[in-house]
Chains A and B, each alone.
Chain A
Amino acid sequence: QKEVEQNSGPLSVPEGAIASLNCTYSDRGSQSFFWYRQYSGKSPELIMFIYSNGDKEDGRFTAQLNKASQYVSLLIRDSQPSDSATYLCAVLMDSSYKLIFGSGTRLLVRP
C-alpha cells in the first residue's frame, strides 16, 4: 500500500511569516510530487510540482524534495490570510499516472 502522510494541523502562523508544510511518502521509486491548495468547498488547485532533488521556487512558494529521506515540503514566504486553506501533497504513480494524495494540512494565517 503506497502511502502519503501529512500532519492534519491546523498549522497556525502570523501574517508575514513563513509557513512550512511537510509530507512523507512510502514508495521509494516515486519520481513526481505535487502540491495542491484546496479552499473549503472547492476543488484542488495545483500550486507546484517537483521532480528533482533540491529546491524549486515559484514566487512566494518553494518546494523541497529529498528522495533519500522520502520527504517533500512546501514553504510559503510572507504568508497572507488568503493562503489559509488545506494543502494537499500528492505523489504520482508513474506506471499509471495516478495521484496518491495525503490527507492534507490545514493552514491558518492569522492577520
Chain B
Amino acid sequence: GAVVSQHPSRVICKSGTSVKIECRSLDFQATTMFWYRQFPKQSLMLMATSNEGSKATYEQGVEKDKFLINHASLTLSTLTVTSAHPEDSSFYICSARGPRSGSVNEQYFGPGTRLTVT
C-alpha cells in the first residue's frame, strides 16, 4: 500500500524552542499533503493543507506564524512548531494524497509524531 513516513515519531522539547516534523511519501508523489493534530480522546483536527510549491492553506484558528509548513517537493512536507508551549503538546499526523492506482481521492496517513513540550 501507499507508504507515508514521519520523523521523528516522538519528540520532547523545552518551552520556547522550535520543533520540525517531516512527512514523506515513500512510493508515490503527493500533490497535496495535510497536517492534522489530535488531542487525547478527540478526533483529528485539520490544521492546514499543503500543496507542493505553493503556500499552505491554514484552517480557521490555526496560527500560520506558529505552525510553519513547507512543501518543497512532491515527496516531502515539513511542519515546524515555533516557540512551542505545553499546550502545543499533541499527536501531529500528516497525510498525503496523490494519483495512485487511479484513486485520486484517498489519503494515506503517516504514523504520527507525539510532541511533548515541557
Q: Which residues in chain B, 95-118, are within 8 Å of chain A measured between CB atoms?
A: 95, 97, 103, 105-112, 114
Q: Which of the four size classes fits the interface of chain A?
A: 20 to 34
| B46 is an interface residue with CB less than 8 A from chain A | yes
| A44 is an interface residue with CB less than 8 A from chain B | yes
Option from B49, B93, B110 in Cβ contact (under 8 Å) with A96 = B49
How many residue pairs, one in A and one in B, have C-beta atoms under 8 Å apart? 49
Asked whether, in the complex, the Cβ of B112 is within 8 Å of the Cβ of A103, the reply is no
Known pairs A32-B105, A43-B91; list 18 more (Cβ under 8 Å). A34-B107, A41-B114, A42-B111, A43-B93, A44-B44, A44-B109, A49-B105, A92-B105, A94-B105, A96-B49, A97-B49, A97-B107, A98-B34, A99-B34, A99-B46, A101-B43, A103-B43, A104-B43
List of 9 A-B pairs having minimum Cβ-Cβ separation, nearest first: A43-B112, A43-B109, A103-B43, A101-B43, A43-B93, A101-B44, A32-B105, A44-B109, A43-B111
Tell me the B residues contacting A by CB distance below 8 Å: 32, 34, 42-44, 46, 49, 57, 91, 93, 95, 97, 103, 105-112, 114
